[in-house]
Structure 1
């Protein structure tokens, strides 16, 4: 404690590096300052300096009489290949507030007492070296003779480029780079604007655009747009419309009728609360329906009483609900109290998801009840 207090307040050190090294020694010394032997790596960590700096500072502290080599037998228990050197902090006799207590401790360790002769006062710290050019103006490079920083020579040709006017400061309007050939202030009139749709963009029935040009329309796109016009909660746009239209077009080619696909997509309301996007819900319903083969086409009459084959679909058509209910009763899963609606597994009355939820016991029970 006493060596640390002397080091922090009264030791005649030059700079913070010397004080840090001296404090690392004082931390492990006795109250009389003797037998301090931390390793150079430990001193470097405490003083936050490089080990080479520790070595230099130990030499300067020894040369000025603040420390000296002590009794090396104090570290004899450490193996010789990693044994540090033992130092004594030469704290002056006159500094100790209670020298008798310190000498009593030394007698208990078999050492002679401290006196003014063996612990004289220390000389004050020498003045810190200053730079030889302190107070002298700095030499400037030719490129820095006018103002601060590098100056860009002005460009006087007619091929373009920028010019750097002289004079002024950072607040002046005359400073900064100037373009001798500024760009025209009026942009071209034929520049496309993102907010204006292209001329061939298709308008939906509600007045909006779906982002698809007439060249990209397909039976799947037309069917999905017609469903969205009648049921806005199922309206798809953009990339989602394009992706789902590919599956719808493929299912139409496989034999699905537009009425059946509308029943698959919008026959059930959206789940509440809606935890997915509408595109994800439509994709899941189409994927579940596509796991089973396409059902037989169900003819349905139009508003004039004629029967259509399902090859075309428009807003005038309507669905034979009795035929749809018969198809659902024969082909859709009746799990979850009849509210599932997914296609059945082959040879079962449940879909894949209900089979995995209910387990084998519930599956057998429902199978027996259905039979």
Structure 2
């Protein structure tokens, strides 16, 4: 309402920082010449000062504690509804600051207020010193030097004595006979690197030695299962097992041979199907899984015995119905020997169930029941 409070807030108010300064100017905009009846809301002050409302509220408490502002006559904002009525503040402008105090007191008299005195508006204390940063005066840590990309004069990190190992170099200029432009490779690589690179876990010559030594195991005890797996690996190199994997799976294959599995059947189980296009585990894990699936179906010599037909019929009670025809065990054995299971895309290799094209394990998987 008056320019005097704005001038005092801009130039002479003992504020601490710019936040207090701009909040005080925004409050002075709506105050009388004596600094009274400034009642802008915190939201309005925050928008004018471009601050957060919580910051405005905190700064108002700080300035009130130092005596820059004080709570005023709340009746000045009585016409505003109570549910969003702002707080009325007075800007405590010192008596000695006014260049024409008589004019200010005349205005107060027209509003029905007593004139200002030196006792009512004493001089304000100077603003407290601004808080300094804790690290003021301390030297900053030097940043590590960065080699920018494209700086051909600086050798790359860990480049050796000459700075030309592992990269291209630019020929020196200044000689008119030298070729200008272009890059030179001090260590050219062969265009066709060798493809038969040995495995990192295999020592030199282990692939052809047949010992199977790898992964810290120089020798694997020979057993029928190990011999069979090595023979499979010799025929189909992708299925070659070595080291601990060869020893463990060799024990499994040896046990399967003792249970009645033939070498041809085990070859079909291990390498009858090609490896997946994308091997996510290891060849040893794939072989182990195939052997576990084969063991779950039972040895090939196992076949459930057919129930024997009762020689005598009961005379009492209704007659027990019997199957229309019983299959002789010799026929079952002949069929088991002559036919192999077509399950698992034709690569199962186990004997089939009587009257079916699948073995006992594949019948459980595919839900096929044999008909006798």
Shorter-chain TM range is: 0.3 to 0.5
Q: TM-score, normalised by structure 2?
A: 0.41
Q: TM-score, normalised by structure 1?
A: 0.41
Higher alpha-carbon Rg: 2
